[in-house]
Structure 1
Amino acid sequence: MNKNYFNHIPTGETLPVNNVHAVSVSMPYLQDVIDYELQTPEILETIKSGYPRFVLHPYLKQLGLYIKDKYKVSDDYEVVVLSSQKAVKLVSDKYYINNKLEVDEAFGVILVQKNTCQLQRVLSYIQHVGCNLSSRLAEKYLFDLGLIDSIHEEELEDESKAHDIIIDTLANAYNQPKDKVCLAPSGMNAIYSVVRGINSIQAHNGRTVLVQFGWLYLDTMNIVNHHYQESKVFPDILNLDLLEEYLKTDGLKVSAIVTEVPTNPLLKTVDIKRLRKLCDEYNIPLVIDTTFATPYNLNLEDYADIFVESLTKFACGNADVLMGAIILNKRNNLSHMTTEFFKHCDPVYIKDKQRLAYEIKDYKSRVKKVSSNTKALAAYFEKCSYIDKVFYCLNDENKDNYSQTMRDDNSLTGIISVTFNKPFKEVYDKLNFAKGPSLGTEFTLLMPYTYLAHWDLIQSEEGNKFLEEIGLPIDLLRISVGVEPIDEIINEFKKLEEF
């Protein structure tokens, strides 16, 4: 981002700007978001890229067309490119696709009939399990064929060092052996792999129910629903009494408990000591998504059996790499089953590793700067006349729970969510921060969370009632705080005092 800090970024521009591998896209007006959800022709023409699991990258589209022509595929079929042959088998087995295309390529290809409900189901499943093909792999393929003119210029770590740099950084941050860390092509692929691994290990023990504790990220819940016939959701992460009562009768049926620390987007934090005690009592593995916490803000080593992190977020910091990680805790009784958890992960393309290896060197310092800025911004919001509610990890409701695991007194997860006592559209449209999906960027990034994550619930009276029940406001702004000077960040928000 430029040093003027906060300027209007046109609709459809990549975030970060001028980066073909960006995982976010600019939606500066609330109407852009609404039009995107409605899939209007005008917005689809403007927004040509976005978060790779949700919006097919232009290079993947171009590659699909090339493969269709190269292998003379009938117009009755859609060519779908995947990260690997393993992904082809996964999707084909799930949806009984027999028309696999035998290709001699460094990626997977399946054919799905056009204009069928199966096509949408297949694309949704790929989104959920995160086995999308790397845009950098597609870029190199197209460039080598002469179908695109150039390769995006970016700083890359040496190919021979990249993998070890990432693994070493994560192993040190989580205080775990290097052989207990595995990379995946996305955070969702990491979660998918853990869910599959737990299912494989626990099913023969009669443990067939996976518990989702807290209202988790949408695709996490979708993965669970794909691979578990039985799952139990406890939306309120602060109400451990309900979970405890459930475990008294069905605790021996539970294969694992999956949670986020803190939750997205309301930044609630479970009483982690009590949750760990319950897991120990019923011998239940605890899986924690630490994407928001990062290993540098919270110390969860004594609580989680398995950590899952989306490296696309704070570890990358620049929103231009899609990658995830599984970290097994050496202290638990699952650590010897490394292969079972890691075997479901898809391979990660080397240039994605090279890019992340370059960026992850600043992971700790980036998180500490973001944490400091978040603390100052939260203090400012607490006194603002235009703010209705502020959600962050050290508010009164979560202070004791969050403090149990803080690395130091200055640690604060780099996300704040707020609601306003002014019209949401006017607030959203007025601010000149980058606005679009994703989080964890070095530049401050705003997202109208409920609009982008739960548009379907906004559209019905029943959905609105459900959002109210789980305490998720429709007009919620999630702020991923950046590393810009905090005075500049606060001054941009002060514009809201003017109307």
Structure 2
Amino acid sequence: MPSQEIGVPIPENTPHAVSVTLPTWEATVGYEEGQDWVVSKMTSGYPRFFIHGVIQELGRGIEAKYGREGERCMIFPTYKVAKRCREFIREKCNKPNVLIRVLQLSTRAPADDNERSTVIETNIGVVLFPAELFPLAKNYWQHSGEGISSRMGQYLLKELISDEDRNTSTSGGRSGSFKAAQQAHEIQQRSPSITLGSDGNTTNGSNSTSDDTNLFIEQKFGRVLDLKFAQQAKIALRRRISGKADKSHNQEEEMEKARRGKNLSETDVYLYPSGMASIFNAHQAVMNINKKNPKKSVCFGFPYVDTLNILKKFGEGVHFLGMGDDESLDKLEQELANGEIDIMALFCECPSNPLLKTPDLKRIRSLADKYKFAVVVDETVGNFLNIHVLPFADLVASSLTKVFSGDSNVMAGSLILNPSSPLYTELKQYFDEEYEDLFWAEDALYLERNSRDFADRAHKIDNTALAAVELLVKNPLISKVYYPSISESKKHYDAIKTSQGGYGGLISFLFHEPADAVCFFNAVNIHKGPSLGTNFTLACPYAILAHYDELDEIAKWDIDRNLIRISVGLEEKSQLLDALQASLDIAAAQHK
């Protein structure tokens, strides 16, 4: 049963969970307003917004060991990323003489071949700054998505901070969050190893534990593969994403291989620690190839919050066409033709989150070719099994945290270069020179495991979502349902839909009466919290959760403050429909 306890990780008892329980409308408001009755109970949260307890403890240890009086720190996977954070803080704080230090720390290399299974050499960057600048550092962490993961933080805490240091930095010794993560790490270390072959496929290893115990640990806790297999896991992931897996055992993989195209190589797929890091680095790449003639970008359609933040806060700025419809494209074309604007890139989601609008990618591609700008498409919501956006984009970003992973226990992102793009040579040169592998080894191992059944899960979610949409559309309490199959932009979705593709698992909807939205949300017996694409159905009052401080502003772009968003999971269709109907009935009963 879904937990209704505030602050509990989703999934429960998962040390590195991506989502967190906000079970009522009031709790979501309380979280956004920082009310103690909510925030005091938060033991978890979405990792770009809520810094994991293990990372917090690592930060306190580093501050105690290396910091000066009044300094705080923020930790990043490399020195180069830390320097980007420093530049961002300096630019935004308006204090030209402020002292911001960047420290590089290293963990030891394996002493021998046996240690390669559990020890990995890594170099990290730490930004140390006056405590009052912490909100700016946190902004960079959130917007860029380039912060360390909780698994990386767990490893660094063990390697860099001694027990004595931890006791110095925390009054009670090790925090509960560290104990929980360490306990999970110990369980995972005892789990069976799985060896990755050179082609990225898997073969079972051996372990002295019984087969039944192995199966239990594998299914219940997941497993951490030996760290020495992390690079093979990343190769497997890039091949899975590019459709170039060497051994395709089913029709879905064969179709994907054909659809992605002969020219796309796994070397054109870049892995990142989050989907937002993929978008951030796409923006960095486009800025770089336009550095001699800096220009603004276009954000086409109302996007997820940090995509717009990246375009606003880094570089020359953004032209925001928030409606993302054909009329907006008419306006853009006219302004380009008249020389009123000159842009370096157009960023869009396909379809958009949360209104599920699909842009006319064919027309956008035509404009890009004519006016020489890059097209960056975020395919997360549609996912590359359902839609084929690569022919129309120069770069394709995706959050692998979502349906590609499904298990809600690892953050990741990918960025694909289109080898047929007119900008491919410039972009490829940039990534050859500048790309850093920020994706932590253990996270790659988890993601490889999670994504093996991606195609089967995605299709089941698509089918269940269609039934949920049908139920919601027929209910008299509901005024509007947003879903690609019933959207005004359906023709644009269908133009890029794959032959076996569906319409995705994300649904948004509005009630005629705001009180009914609150009643429904509080009553519905499903998981409630941030994120999407999870293997379990997950709901949130989207506008409240993502845009609480700008509800009047987002209304200009048709985002209603009472919007509810549901991400459909793998529950049996009848189970989910019954849960939705029961809550609709409760909302209806309050009118009697």
Q: Which residue of 2 aligns with 1:484?
A: 571
Q: Which residue of 1 aligns with 2:55?
A: 60
Q: Which residue of 2 aligns with 1:448?
A: 541
Contact 2:104 2:124 in 1 (8 A): no
2:317 and 2:69 mapped to 1: Cα distance? 39
1:108 paired to 2:108 = no
1:235 paired to 2:235 = no
Of 228-237 and 55-64, the range deviating more from structure 2 = 228-237
Tell me which structure has the larger Cα radius of gyration: 2
Q: 1:410 to 1:203 in 2, by over 3 A?
A: closer
| Per-residue deviation, residues 405-437 of structure 1 (Å, max 9, x unmatched) | 111365112100011234222111101111001
Of 342-351 and 480-489, the range deviating more from structure 2 = 342-351
Shift of 1:440: 0.5
1:80 and 1:10 mapped to 2: Cα distance? 30
Q: 1:102 to 1:393 in 2, by over 3 A?
A: closer
Q: Which residue of 2 aligns with 1:493?
A: 580
Shift of 1:341: 4.0
Shift of 1:259: 0.6
Q: 1:394 to 1:277 in 2, by over 3 A?
A: same
Q: Which residue of 2 aligns with 1:121?
A: 136
Contact 2:18 2:411 in 1 (8 A): yes
Contact 2:100 2:129 in 1 (8 A): no
1:433 paired to 2:526 = yes
Shift of 1:226: 2.1
| Per-residue deviation, residues 271-321 of structure 1 (Å, max 9, x unmatched) | 222222212221222110000111100111321111000111111101111
1:23 paired to 2:18 = yes
Q: Which residue of 2 aligns with 1:305?
A: 394
Shift of 1:449: 0.7
Q: 1:285 to 1:99 in 2, by over 3 A?
A: closer
Partner-residue secondary structure (3-state), 1:233? strand
Shift of 1:134: 1.4
Partner-residue secondary structure (3-state), 2:51? coil
Q: Which residue of 1 aligns with 2:473?
A: 382
Q: 1:251 to 1:274 in 2, by over 3 A?
A: farther
1:295 paired to 2:297 = no
Q: 1:157 to 1:414 in 2, by over 3 A?
A: farther
By relative contact order (CA 8 Å, sep 6+), the higher-ranking structure is 1
Q: Please, what TM-score do these two structures have when normalized by structure 1?
A: 0.92
Contact 1:372 1:410 in 2 (8 A): no
Of 466-475 and 438-447, the range deviating more from structure 2 = 466-475
Letter in 2 for 1:447: C
Q: Which residue of 2 aligns with 1:77?
A: 71
Partner-residue secondary structure (3-state), 1:17? coil
Segments of structure 2 that go 5 or more residues without pairing to the other structure are: 91-98, 108-122, 164-173, 189-221, 244-255
Shift of 1:125: 1.5
Shift of 1:396: 4.5
Q: Which residue of 2 aligns with 1:340?
A: 430
Shift of 1:143: 4.4
Q: Which residue of 1 aligns with 2:505?
A: 414
2:467 and 2:447 mapped to 1: Cα distance? 29
Partner-residue secondary structure (3-state), 1:446? strand
Of 75-84 and 35-44, the range deviating more from structure 2 = 75-84
Q: 1:134 to 1:230 in 2, by over 3 A?
A: closer
Q: 1:387 to 1:345 in 2, by over 3 A?
A: farther
Q: 1:7 to 1:94 in 2, by over 3 A?
A: closer
- Percent of aligned positions that are identical: 29
2:77 and 2:340 mapped to 1: Cα distance? 37
2:317 and 2:31 mapped to 1: Cα distance? 33
Segments of structure 1 that go 5 or more residues without pairing to the other structure are: 1-5, 459-463
The equivalences for 1:1-16 within 5 A come to 6-16=1-11
1:261 paired to 2:261 = no
Of 241, 249, 256, the residue aligned with 1:170 is 241
1:307 and 1:382 mapped to 2: Cα distance? 32
Letter in 1 for 2:129: V
Partner-residue secondary structure (3-state), 2:444? helix
Q: 1:341 to 1:388 in 2, by over 3 A?
A: farther
Contact 2:15 2:184 in 1 (8 A): no
Q: 1:339 to 1:34 in 2, by over 3 A?
A: same
| Per-residue deviation, residues 32-61 of structure 1 (Å, max 9, x unmatched) | 111111112232220122011101100001
Q: 1:411 to 1:331 in 2, by over 3 A?
A: same
Of 175, 192, 195, the residue aligned with 2:280 is 192
1:151 paired to 2:184 = yes
2:437 and 2:564 mapped to 1: Cα distance? 33
Q: Please, what TM-score do these two structures have when normalized by structure 2?
A: 0.78
Partner-residue secondary structure (3-state), 1:192? helix
Shift of 1:324: 0.8
2:405 and 2:439 mapped to 1: Cα distance? 15
| Per-residue deviation, residues 133-187 of structure 1 (Å, max 9, x unmatched) | 1111122233455654523443245542311111110111544211100011111
Q: Which residue of 1 aligns with 2:101?
A: 99
